[in-house]
């Protein structure tokens, strides 16, 4: 059974600081996705990571994938208030298009 764990679950950080969110998963997969959810809203896709060593960057966010370690990271550089949201990683179960989500990391950036 595929398990996906994120940590931390809650993150409160000051503007301008850097931090990393971790996503660990329990079985082999080469496909990992990051999503963002604003309060009361739906989820939107942030990054698609489809191979070992994949790195994607968008603005102050950078995601990477290490399939050997079964680990993805979402790095936040010089956080700003607009990044406050809940971030989810999701893993495709062995290429089956069955996606299992982590529990999410609720990020609050303080001005």
CA distance 57 to 55: 7
Does position 26 bind another protein by CB under 8 A?
no
CA distance 108 to 111: 10
Question: HSE-up of 64 (CA within 13 Å, CB side)?
Answer: 9
Does position 101 bind another protein by CB under 8 A?
yes
CA distance 11 to 66: 23
- Report helix, strand or coil for 103: coil
- Residue 35-74 contact track with another protein, rule CB under 8 A, x = bound: x------xxxx--x-x------------------------
Does position 91 bind another protein by CB under 8 A?
no
Q: Binders of another protein: how many residues, by CB under 8 A? A: 21
Does position 103 bind another protein by CB under 8 A?
yes
Location of structure tokens 């370690």:
69
Does position 99 bind another protein by CB under 8 A?
yes
| Interface with another protein (CB under 8 A) | 6, 31, 33, 35, 42-45, 48, 50, 88, 90, 92, 97-104
């Amino acid at each position: 059974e595929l398990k996906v764990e994120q940590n931390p679950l809650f993150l409160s950080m000051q503007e301008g600081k850097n931090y990393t969110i971790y996503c660990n998963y329990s079985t082999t997969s080469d496909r990992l996705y990051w999503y963002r959810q604003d309060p009361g809203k739906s989820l939107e896709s942030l990054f698609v990571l489809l191979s070992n060593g994949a790195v994607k960057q968008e603005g102050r966010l950078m995601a990477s994938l290490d399939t050997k370690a079964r680990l993805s990271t979402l790095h936040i550089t010089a956080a700003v208030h607009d990044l406050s949201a809940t971030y989810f990683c999701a893993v495709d179960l062995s290429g089956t298009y069955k996606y299992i989500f982590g529990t999410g990391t609720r990020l609050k950036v303080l001005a």
